[in-house]
Amino acid sequence: MTVMFHSTLDDPAEWVPRLQALLPGEDIRVWPDIGDPAAVDVAVVWIPPEGALASFSGLRAVQSLGAGINQLGMQSFPPQVRVARLVDRGLTGMMTEYALLAALRYARNLDAHERAQRASTWDYIMPTGVGSFTVGVMGLGVIGAATAMRLAANGFPVCGWARTPKTLDGVRCFSGEAGLTEFLGQTRILVNLLPLTPQTENILNAGLFDRLPRGAFVVNMGRGAHLVDADLLAALDSSHLAGATLDVFRPEPLPEAHPFWLHPRILMTPHVAGTGDPDSAAEVVAENIRRAKLGETLLNEVDRARGY
């Protein structure tokens, strides 16, 4: 088996020795030193090198180094190529931590105190605690479900929304278009953890914001293309929304002139909410390389027709 590793974020010096130790005898090559492209059986990538996968004529599987897979360009893969997203306890833990941090920052008015400090203003706001800040989690998959549970364990009232019905301890679950309005109506902090598909692109738009209570907050940890930037700016500028925390953007990096950078009610981070931890994730990736070799279904294999 020949495996090609490439990432602009994940360090091959961290990953390749771990993979090699788990897969003695397999040939793991780091882009661009891959030899004959036709020999590559499995590509382990965050974003594939431009045009490269088309020359991998023997490709059996693509393992994403991210939980999301929209960045792979999988529409162009031949139908027999299996695709797996990354499910890793390190990544999931970091994502739940980021959501908790963002929710606590709003629940304890830190965003308002940051603005007051910049204006040298002693602005006393009576703290109310987390119990009055219902968090609504969009997407109840691996990361969304873990996030909802972690928020609930920290005292937040939590509701969640997914495509199909779910049952989660301590979380009021809603599903489908029919459940969306009721879900949004009780959400004070909206956390987006949806995958990017044609159905979810632009889902964070004016029509959705209008269904949130006045003064709600938005935390986008999914993908930049979930959000209609102009609609967020309008909702913040009209004070219908009180703030937003954004980890993902369209495009990335966000151009310097974009109005998000200097907006007083937007906190931005450069797509750092969660990353795979090679200590835990290498085992999952190695198992999928073994499965690809045997022609078996991969762990966390993507339904290519569904798009996630």
Nearest partner of 249 among 237, 235, 267, 276, judged by Cα: 267
Note whether 99 binds ligand GLV by CB under 6 A. Answer: no
Is residue 271 among the annotated active site residues?
yes
Q: Cβ contacts of residue 49 below 8 Å, gap of 6+?
A: 6, 31, 32
77-113 burial, b at 16+ Cβ within 10 Å, e below that, comes to beeebbbbbbbbebbbbbbbebbbebbbbbbbbebbe
Instruction: Report the residue closest to ligand NAP, judged by CB.
Output: 141
**Residue 52 DSSP class:** G
Contacts 24+ apart (CB under 8 A), 254-262: 258/229, 259/233, 260/229, 260/233
- Among 271, 290, 291, 306, the active-site one is 271
Element (H, E) at 144: helix 142-153
Q: Which amino acid is at 228?
A: V
- Among 150, 223, 226, 291, the active-site one is 223
> Closest approach of Cβ 211 to ligand GLV, in Å?
26
Q: Out of 7, 64, 68, 96, which residue is the one contacting ligand NAP (CB under 6 A)?
A: 68
286 token code pair: 């190695």
**Part of the chain binding ligand NAP (CB under 6 A), chosen from 64-72, 107-115, 259-267, 281-289:** 64-72
- In the list ligand NAP, ligand GLV, none, the entry touching 308 (Cβ below 5 to 8 angstroms by class) is ligand NAP
Note whether 66 binds ligand GLV by CB under 6 A. Answer: yes
Which one, 10 or 41, has the nearer CB to ligand NAP?
Answer: 10
Where in the sequence numbering do the catalytic residues fall?
223, 271
Which stretches of the chain bind ligand NAP, using CB under 6 A?
66-68, 95, 139-144, 162-164, 193-197, 199-200, 221-223, 247-248, 271, 273-274, 308
Which stretches of the chain bind ligand GLV, using CB under 6 A?
66-68, 91, 274
